[in-house]
Amino acid sequence: MIDFYFDVSSPWTYLAFRNIQPMAAGLDATINWRPVLVGGIFNTVNQRMYASREDSNSPRNRYVLKDLQDCARQTGVRIIFPPKVFPVNSVKAMRGCIWLAQNAESKQHLLAFIEATFAAYFTQQEDISQDEVLANICHDAGID
């Protein structure tokens, strides 16, 4: 069993999400999808993260962007970073993940919802904080 903690607004989580599934299949392991709100964690333990993002041309931020793009390229994952809206408020999307993960009859849609939300944000540059965008994601994931 692999516990996978994720937030659909995290580019690093997106890369891990795209790569952990084949790895788990190769190990014959199941994945326990564990939604967390990364912004809430930052607010509690690392508020400097927000200030450090403001200077996108700092050596640290240039390196982080290069490292992210290198990791994406090496693993064959397409990612547009930063998306048009960054950072994004992922609270509503993550509430959807939590609800799907906890409801037995809806759990079957969780993976499709996660995948569609990541794709909307990191490949189509949609604002996943918007109700209309989330409604379209639900439709694409087969959720009424």
**pLDDT of res. 43:** 73
Q: Are strands 31-35 and 2-6 parallel, antiparallel or unpaired?
A: parallel
**Does 87 sit behind a cis peptide bond, omega within 30 degrees of 0 on the bond before it?**
yes
Instruction: Spell out the domain ranges in the chain.
Output: 2-140
Tell me what the mean pLDDT of segment 93-116 comes to.
93
Per-residue pLDDT tens for 15-69? 999 999 999 999 999 999 999 998 787 777 866 666 666 767 888 889 989 999 9
Average pLDDT, the chain: 92
CATH architecture observed for domain 2-140: 3-Layer(aba) Sandwich (3.40)
Report the distance separating Cα 61 and Cα 67, nearest Å: 10
Tell whether pTM > 0.85: yes
